[in-house]
Structure 1
Amino acid sequence: MSEEKKKLQKYETLLRCSDILVYEYHPDTDIAIKLDQSLDEADRIENYMSQIEKRDWLKPCDRDRYVQFIRGMSDGSIEIESASSGNDRMLNRIKKMYIADGETGEEYLLLSKKDITFQRSIENKYREQAQRDSMTQLYNRVSGKELIEDYLKHKTPYEACGMMVIDVDYFKGVNDSYGHLFGDKVLMSVASLLMQHFGEDSIVSRIGGDEFTVFIRNTENKTLISRTSDFIKAIRRLTYEENDYTPTCSVGVCFVPENIPYSGYEQIFGNADWALYQAKRQGRNRYVFCDNLHRFEEDILEKADIPSQIDARYFQNDILATAFEVFEKSTGFNEAMELMLKIIGIRFQLDRISVLRGDLAEQKCRYMFCWQKDGMQDVSGKEFTFSKEGFLEFYRKYDEYNTIVLNYDHMEKFSPKAQAVLMQGGAKTVLYVAAYLEGEYRGVVSFVSTEQKRFWSMDKRRELSEVVKLFSAYRKRRIGVNKCDCGYMNVSEYDNLTGLISFSRFRDDVEHIIVSKTGLPHIMVYSDIENFTEYNKAYGYKKGDILLKEFANYIIGTMSKQEETYFSRIVSDQFILFMPYDVNIPDMDYKVKLLNDAFIRSIVGEDNPTGVRIRTGIYRITDECRHAAEAIDAANLARKQIKAEDDMNVVVYDAASHRN
């Protein structure tokens, strides 16, 4: 047997064992050829692209992705759903590779398709198991919190909700008297009872030991009262064969009515936990409702011994809006930073916050600002060095929001010296947020918990990332003012990277138009570049700067020359546009999407390996809009509604769906 035949037999065996189907696609003739296990032609499809459009074996969204994938100019893979012969849905992974015919020079695609439906179902099964408490099969603390936060993020203003925090009374005595096996049986029976009473429309979690939470979606206050009372009575009816033990529980309840300012998980849980404490103080075996949605905040403020000159609104309003106000009202940058660190520390219940300036050339880092709770180990004023390798190991961990979460018991990838630096002062969990100035990495802000490990949700990471960007923006303004005072330069009214007007000048000019109400209809358009961090990592900051400049020039090129049009870069990859618009133009969001997508294709092509895209929020200025800040916030809020998995990357602000 010849060597060629031996190789062919090996390929046939490999294809049979791996269940891989192989195709050729010839772009010049638009012909697809299905190959058999011997790599001989088994079927031929002419006019392949038009056949894809006609057939219903792909979902419309996957059909578009598949066509773009085939037309792309680089190797890669894609996962799409297709219909089998029995009309069941299958998940396929398709890989492609460009091949050049050695004789004719023709370039064509070699495609492989593998059914990964079973593999993905197993992965989903393990993912589901990871979300569950192993003993009770309820959601664990982390997954339950994520589900609640996701619901709160997307619920309409017209939905009310409630949370119960439940604690089995004197449970330690149960373990001590009857043993841990019986204690586990009690916990499982309580978990089963919770699912019977609340499972269908609720998120039921075991958050540790004998403590549970129940989050009830879209409920009325009277219904929440009734269901809580019924559960308290039901748990008293539980009996066990082993002994005469009868469980009771204490319950703290927080009800969140419809049409109120946004309440996050921490606020709702904190209020319910406060109510649980009151139930225990009153003798246990009862439930207590939180009588004030700000009860938990008030409790925190009282314990924190906050000076009376700090406005209480700063602990309740949106954290970014609070930061804007603090910096605008403060007489100096240092004063604003010290106040903001204290507000964040108290509001997020942290033990220490540090702003560290890094010098990559000298491989040194030093503390610029530091806030810490009373009694905490003082680490401020220290300077320490780092190695290039240690810095790269750290830097590569930054996520899409430029954040890193480190826990003291998972630091094995770092050297002992790096561990000592990163987890200073007995830290259990540290959230690091990168600080950039004019696109240059300048250091980090660390948010430290020392008493116990802490879970940081992606929402909280994103919030603090936006605040740190604001720190950098105001530091840049401060540097400009200082240089002006020293006679080195005048404060520029233009962005020195893109040449656009500065954001402060933009706000002043737009404020004048909005307040004066010229009568022309205007829109505020807030855009950013999703995955811009990944683009910088892949191609470097110079390429990132070019991308920002190209986007600014592209938008300018699409605008007609008319009065009352202003365009600015807010910070980093975020841009803001204010302009008149024609109210008779339909599908404004779709037309903006086409412009956004066309720009990305012109820069990175169809393949787009880093996944960058433009996200845009649009706000139509109404008579009710009184200030530029309101319009900017509304457009930004619309932008934030866009998720990474959404096909539509433009959202028009809808007052009804965003009303507090």
Structure 2
Amino acid sequence: MKTRDTLLIVDDMEVNRAILRSLFEHQYNLLEAENGEQALLLLREYEEHVAAMLLDLVMPVKDGYEVMEEMGKSGLVSRIPVIVITSDDTAESEVRAFDLGAADIIMKPFEPHVVKRRVQNAVELCRHKLHLEELVEEQSASLRESNAIMIDVLSSIIEYRSVESGQHIRRIRMFTRILLEDVAKTYQEYNLDGRTIEIIADASSMHDIGKIAIPDSILNKPGPLTREEFEVMKTHTTKGCEMLSGLERMNDKEYIGYAYNICRYHHERWNGKGYPDGLKGDNIPICAQVVAIADCYDALTTDRVYKKALPPEQAFNMILNGECGEFSPRLLECFKNVREDFAALSRAYADGLAPTKKPERKEVRPSSTIDTAGTLEQGQMKYLTLLRYVDSTVMEVDLNTGVYHVVYMPDRDFELLRSGSRFEDSVKAFVQGAVYPEDRDIVLGLLGDYMEEFFSDGLMRRTRKYRVLDQAAGVYYWCYATLLRVDPGNPNQKKVMLIWHRASDEPLEVPHSGRAEEDLFRETVIGRLAGGVIKCRNDKWYTFADNGKGLHGLTGCTEQVIRDKYHNRYKEVIYPADRDLVSQGLVSQMGEGRIAELEYRLVTEDGRLIWVMDRSILVTEEDGMEYIYTLLVDITQSRKAMEGLQESVERHKIILNQTKDVIFEWNVTTDEISYSSNWECKYGYQPIIEGIRRRLPYASHINPDDIPDVMKFTNDMMTGRQLGEVEFRLANAEGRYCWCRVRATAQFDPAGNTDKVIGIIEDIDDEKRETEKLIDRAERDVLTKLYNKRAARHKINRFLELSQGREGSAMLIIDVDNFKMVNDRYGHMFGDAVLTELAARITSHFRDSDIISRIGGDEFMVFMPGTVNHEMVTERAGRLMASLQTMFKNNMKDVPFSCSIGIAYSPEDGSDFQSLFQNSDAALYQAKLEGKNRWMQYRRPAVNAALELKEEADRPEEMRENTEHRGQGTVARVISMTFQELYDAADFDRAMNSILEITGRMFHVSRVYIFENCTDSDDFCTNTFEWCREGITPQRAKLRNVAYTDQGGDYRDNFNEEGVFYCLDIAELRPELQYMLAEQGISSMLQCSITAEGVFKGFVGFDECEAGRIWTQEQIDCLVFLSKMLSTFLLKKRAEDKLRESMQNLEGILNNQNSWIYVIDGETYQLRYINEKTYQIAPETRLGMCCYEAFFKRNEPCEHCPVRECAGKESSILEVYNPVLNVWTLADSSRIRWGDREAFLLACHDISPYKRMEKEGAANR
């Protein structure tokens, strides 16, 4: 049994698969599917490797219920546990899932650790169950073996009243098994598998159990039984059934059922002349039919009290020819196939012998999908139908063994052919009693020279004619006796068929008129056109019947050369290496008809080899001999060209096999794909070859995460791309995902459309694995081996993007309290050891799926995906704090060891990384302020951040770490001034420039500026605001449309999780970036990002140009907060500008329309909007006026108001005449929302000219 080490994860949500993958990737090999169709494909392919399946219920293509239904039909659900993971918690869903075979159900959202434990439990239970089934099967087999021995002994006692004849029961069981195995292979419709065969073979031991009720005087009588005694003997079948019917307490009902049928019906016969019930044909159970043949054969080949044993050959002939009753023709065919096995068992298990070697048992596995018309039975039916049409007597003979079988005999005149124990005896009896005396020597030639010559000359057919006695009329008639060879491919086999056919009144003749003209035509016209025409006997040498006249033009051989050099044999003209192939080809093709077509080489007179195409026809002429007429065509040139092409193909094949890459060709028109032969050698299964675009997304071995890339690649190649490349993971024969790279080139048809795509599939798994190891090493912190900040941020962002707020999560920032004291007192080496142990302790308290990283000197971050239980998060935080307090109690007695933890949750506290990080960091800050050694959850809204900074400034020095107190007045004054200036600003740009100047002078920096993303691309930015101290050169004019990626990398990557880019000395930066900043005269700087919903929108910067500067923590905190405040107002201003611009564009569009457009309140009919055209036609109109008053000078709404016509509808069109303005309009009214009220938009088009023309036309008529 193969190791079940693979989990199949089936879910259409990538984020769910990612969570489950992180749980089990270290314990199991993982396969993934994103729909039910793909899951079933992988299950069928890797059934023996899959330990369990994690199944979602709601999926495209096929849902989870359909998957379990198909698994139930195929029996997979009993061998592979299915753990359903669903959000449907209804009782109906649970009942249905369990009824379909689910091993467990886990509700979403789930706790990953719970899923892990429940999956492990299900896998272990299934493994124990399968192991127990194996043990039970082994014990059952052992028990059956013991039972079989006991049954053998008891059956022998019953049948013979003696233990010494027990070999009979053993032989019957073995005969039954061997014959059943052949029946199972030949006739699959009987549904005989290995288990059924064993049960029937064991049950066959009970076939004669009823003989215990037969008196000894009858059972052991040495002579023939009288009629009365035979009637008593026949009752052993029914007596045995009565005994078996009393065994109702036995649990094995199947075994008893077979034993009952065998006991009762093993003396029934195919023609209905058996006993006790006279069943006929297939009404007799197949188990009883098989045991009947086995019992009959054993009775004939062993000594009994009433007879001596017969030779196996005679026993076979007697059974085959109906001397022991008629058996099923199908079973007789199988009986002939096992003749040698039966004979060998008769010798090995003869009475008195006790062989110790146990016979081998072959496993028989008939196909589950078999077309009955394709079985051997169908072939035999056609064979018998043909015999009925031919209306001839047919006999099969094996001259090596003397076994013969009269297959078909429509005429009783040949009845004597069934007499005799061997073929020779049968022929002699037939000659003596049915052949005309003067013709008897001709018939006896079958036993002498006639048959010897037939085989020595390698003939296939030979016919003689002699007279046979009409038994009814008492006269002789002429009969053709044809001898046919059955197996010419094996020289050691001497199997023939004899066919006797009554001759008609007029003998058949082959026409010979015009032979001279035919020969002339063949030698001249056909010979010149084709190359050569020859006539040969159908013997083993293909002896020339025309002296090889037709070969002269082809080979240059004269008739003299043919006689002297080639002994008048065409086979010797053939190149020696091709002779056997020619013989086999002719026999094979002419076995199906009279025509054959071959290609082979001939030897010319001068020793050259030429290739010829041979087209032959087989003819039987009046002398009873078969002749082959052959047309030969010289194809040497075309064969040489083909061989050159084959050599070229072979060279390319050798090169491809050495590279181990797979070549493919995709026919885009038919959507079919072909692969080089090494696909199956490499991957171990048949690939998808048709319906690529339809089947690839839903039923393939490609990792679901990579399918979008593969589909994009196929679409690109289909839509005109010349070259393409894609990398993806593909499952191999063991169910492991391997990395592949596809490189392809498109071929186009004359119209320029993609016709074919040809490419290569390269194995890059080793390369990818090594790259992944290097990436993993680069993502790890050198000291603690945890993820570093960049790697953790990338993984967390990936999860948040996939979950889109649907999956809860938690972020914890962990900071060691007073760690500076540890380094100062015990040294940095001890401090590193503490950090390493601390990392291990943190890892042990969290799950395998959690992302743990070191983000600073003594700061750690833990991200817990798929977490909705806040109590579980805080409980783990508390356990970690308690664990750390005892970690170094013996080593650091003077320094208390503890940590503070800040916690934020998604999506409540943020759905992007930056928001979560800032909020969890704020919670950590609060935990520090409240005395350390505690955890805090983020609760305060961001608008109170200014007060938090003020509180921090008010706290004494010992309560703050890594900060430098500058006085709370400065901070509060800057915050207040900035907020008030922006809030009250009438001129935003002026206010912004003023704030930049105030900030720059207050913090003594050289330059303060703002960069914003360009309106048409987020990948470029422009310096929009700038203030410079006296003596500093402005840069704003130079820094427009600057690409973020112009400095050898992405400039945005320089900002940390808090959105801050702090550089003490630009000399520490990479050369490209250092050069760019040096051009601006920058020595050190501090920049803060501007973000909107997690998207980078620009940054606020503070430069020091005269000397390097060390920014204090308080300055950084204040400037970061000021930057975020500026960002908020700036983003709000840009959004308002964009909206205002859109409104102006829309109003311009409406004013330029050549229609009167206005908006009416749905209840008051007051005008809410009027375009320029409306003002022109009705200058006195004002907003707030009622439409009927403004346009019609009325005091109430019009009778045919378009607004009324639009009631209950979304829009209406109405022709309206305005007598005040003397115009006809086509009023188009639509229902809209104006603010929070229902309103109607009217567009009125002037149709007065049209109306006047219509009126004038009517007047003229």
Q: TM-score, normalised by structure 1?
A: 0.50
Q: Which amino acid letter does the alignment assign opposite residue 819 of structure 2?
A: F
Change (3 A) 1:340 1:150: farther
- Contact 1:353-1:447 at 8 Å conserved across structures: yes
Q: Partner amino acid for 2:1072? A: K
Q: Work out whether 1:75 is the aligned partner of 2:730.
A: no
Task: Report Cα offsets for 1:538-560 as digits up to 9, x if no partner.
Answer: xxxxxxxxxxxxxxxxxxxxxxx
**Residue pair 1:141, 1:207 contacting (<8 A) in 2 also:** yes
Q: Which structure is higher in RCO with an 8 Å CA cutoff and minimum separation 6?
A: 1
Equivalent residues in 2 for 1:493-642, closer than 5 Å:
493-494=1145-1146
Asked whether the equivalents of residues 717 and 746 of structure 2 are also in contact (C-alpha less than 8 Å), the reply is no
Higher mean C-alpha deviation, range 151-160 or range 135-144: 151-160
Alignment partners' CA distance in 1, 2:1211 and 2:997: 44
Find the counterpart in structure 1 of residue 1137 from structure 2.
474
Contact 2:717 2:723 in 1 (8 A): no
Q: Amino acid of the residue matched to residue 664 of structure 2?
A: Y
Q: 1:189 aligns with which of 826, 832, 837?
A: 837
The SS at the match of 2:742 is strand
**Rounded Cα–Cα distance in structure 2 between residues aligned with 1:517 and 1:48:** 69
Counterpart in 2 of 1:427? 1085
- Map Cα deviations across residues 371-397 of structure 1 (whole Å, 9 max, x no partner): 79xxx99958456758x9x97896587
CA radius of gyration, larger in: 2
Residue pairs, 1:423-502, within 5 angstroms = 424=1082, 426-427=1084-1085, 446-448=1099-1101, 471=1134, 474=1137, 493-494=1145-1146
Task: Please tell me the residue identity of whatever aligns with 1:57.
Answer: S
Is 1:57 the counterpart of 2:720? The answer is: no
1:131–1:143 contact (8 Å) kept in structure 2: yes
Structure 1: runs of 5+ lacking an equivalent: 38-44, 315-325, 359-364, 434-443, 455-459, 481-490, 503-508, 519-561, 565-579, 582-620, 629-660
- In structure 1, the residue corresponding to 2:1072 is in which secondary structure? coil
Tell me how far 1:195 sits from its aligned partner.
1.7
**Do the aligned partners of residues 255 and 468 (structure 1) sit closer, same or farther apart at CA in structure 2, a change above 3 Å counting?**
closer
Q: Given the two structures, how large is their TM-score scaled by the length of structure 2?
A: 0.29
In the other structure, the counterpart of 1:21 is 662
Q: What secondary structure, in the 3-state scheme, does the structure 1 residue paired with 2:784 have?
A: coil
Question: Deviation of residue 248 (structure 1)?
Answer: 1.0
Measured in 2, the distance between the counterparts of 1:98 and 1:134 equals 47
Kindly state the Cα deviation for residue 111 of structure 1 after the two structures are TM-superposed. Answer: 0.9
Q: Which one-letter code corresponds to 1:353 in the other structure? A: Y
Measured in 2, the distance between the counterparts of 1:86 and 1:500 equals 65
Contact 2:816–2:858 under 8 Å retained in 1: yes
The range that moved more, 181-190 or 6-15, is 6-15
Letter in 2 for 1:71: M
Partner of 1:334: 989
Aligned to 2:591: none
For 1:19 and 1:501, the matched residues in 2 are separated by: 68
For the 8 Å contact 2:741–2:763, the answer to whether it is kept is yes
In structure 2, relative to structure 1, the CA distance for the partners of 1:332 and 1:301 (3 Å cut) is farther
Gaps of 5+ in 2: 1-644, 679-685, 952-970, 1015-1020, 1056-1060, 1092-1096, 1104-1109, 1117-1122, 1152-1156, 1166-1209, 1213-1228, 1239-1261
| One-letter identity of the residue aligned with 1:183 | G
Task: For 1:347-366, list aligned pairs within 5 A.
Answer: 352-355=1008-1011
Question: Is the 2:974–2:999 contact (alpha carbons within 8 Å) kept by the matching residues of 1?
Answer: no
The answer as to whether partners of 2:780 and 2:788 remain within 8 angstroms in 1 is yes
Distance between the aligned counterparts of 1:228 and 1:242, measured in 2?
24
Cα distance change on mapping 1:253 and 1:133 into 2, 3 Å: same
Match of 1:426, as an amino acid?
S
Find the counterpart in structure 2 of residue 251 from structure 1. 900
In 2, Cα distance between the equivalents of 1:16 and 1:382? 63
Give the direction of change, closer, same or farther, for the CA distance of 1:197–1:273 in structure 2 (3 Å limit): same
Q: CA 1:194/1:415 → structure 2, altered by over 3 Å: closer, same or farther?
A: closer
What is the deviation of 1:184? 1.7
Give me the CA root mean square deviation: 6.4
3-state DSSP class of the match of 1:424?
Answer: coil
Q: CA deviation at 1:72?
A: 3.0
**Letter matched to residue 447 of structure 1:** V
For the pair 1:271 / 2:926, whether they are aligned, the reply is: no
Amino acid corresponding to residue 1078 of structure 2 in structure 1: A
The Cα of 1:173 is off from its aligned counterpart by 3.7
The alpha-carbon distance between structure 1 residues 119 and 223, as it changes in their structure 2 partners (threshold 3 A), is same
Return the letter of the residue paired with 2:989: N
The alpha carbon displacement at 1:340 in A equals: 9.8
* 1:493, distance to aligned residue in structure 2 (A): 2.7
Contact 2:812 2:861 in 1 (8 A): yes
**How far did 1:13 drift?**
7.7
- The residue aligned with 2:589 is none
* Partner secondary structure for residue 782 of structure 2: coil
Q: Distance in 2 between matches of 1:18 and 1:514?
A: 77
Shift of residue 133, structure 1, vs aligned partner: 1.7
Q: Which amino acid aligns with 2:1137?
A: Y
Q: What is the distance in 2 between the residues matched to 1:475 and 1:101?
A: 49
Which aligned pairs between 1:22-171 and structure 2 lie closer than 5 A?
A: 22-27=663-668, 32-35=673-676, 49-50=690-691, 53=694, 56-59=699-702, 61=707, 64-65=711-712, 67-73=714-720, 74-99=722-747, 108-148=756-796, 163-171=811-819
Task: Say whether the 8 Å CA contact 2:717–2:754 is kept in structure 1.
Answer: no
What are the superposed Cα offsets for residues 331-359 of structure 1, whole Å, 9 maximum, x if unpaired?
Answer: 334157559989999xxxx994324999x
User: What CA distance in whole angstroms lies between the structure 2 residues aligned with 1:121 and 1:513?
Assistant: 68
Q: CA–CA distance in 2 between the matches of 1:465 and 1:403?
A: 22
Secondary structure at the aligned position of 1:24 is classed as strand
Distance 1:412 1:475 in 2: 38
On the 8 A contact 1:164/1:253 being kept in 2, the answer is yes
When residues 308 and 223 of structure 1 are mapped into structure 2, their CA distance, relative to the original with a 3 A threshold, is same
Displacement of 1:57 after TM fit? 3.2
Are the equivalent residues in 2 in contact too, given 1:66–1:80 (CA < 8 A)?
no
> What is the SS of the residue equivalent to 1:182?
helix
Q: 3-state DSSP class of the match of 1:136?
A: coil
Contact 1:162 1:224 in 2 (8 A): yes
- What is the deviation of 1:234? 1.5
Separation (CA, whole Å) in 1 of partners of 2:754 and 2:868:
65
Q: Does 1:413 align with 2:1072?
A: yes
| Cα distance per residue 1:437-483 (max 9 Å; x no partner) | xxxxxxx96533666899xxxxx99x9899779749838979x9xxx
* Distance of 1:207 and 1:627 partners within structure 2: 53
2:1033, 2:783 → 1: CA distance?
44
Amino acid at match of 2:765: T
* Residues 813 and 921 in structure 2, CA contact (< 8 A), matched pair in contact too: no
Aligned residue in 2 for 1:573: none
The residue type equivalent to 2:1071 in the other structure is E
Shift of 1:429: 5.7
Give 1 or 2: higher helix fraction: 2
- Size of the aligned set, in residue pairs, is 451
State the alpha-carbon separation in 2 of the partners of residues 622 and 138 from structure 1.
56
SS class of match (1:195): helix
Name the SS for the 1:78 alignment partner.
Answer: strand
Paired amino acid for 1:273? L
Structure 1: distance between partners of 2:688 and 2:873: 61
2:672/2:691 contact within 8 Å kept: no
Deviations 1:205-264 (A, max 9, x none): 322112223445635555555433332221122248877677512314345598578681
Q: 1:413 to 1:431 in 2, by over 3 A?
A: farther
Distance 1:384 1:108, change over 3 A: same
Q: Work out the CA distance in 2 between the residues paired with 1:169 and 1:16.
A: 63
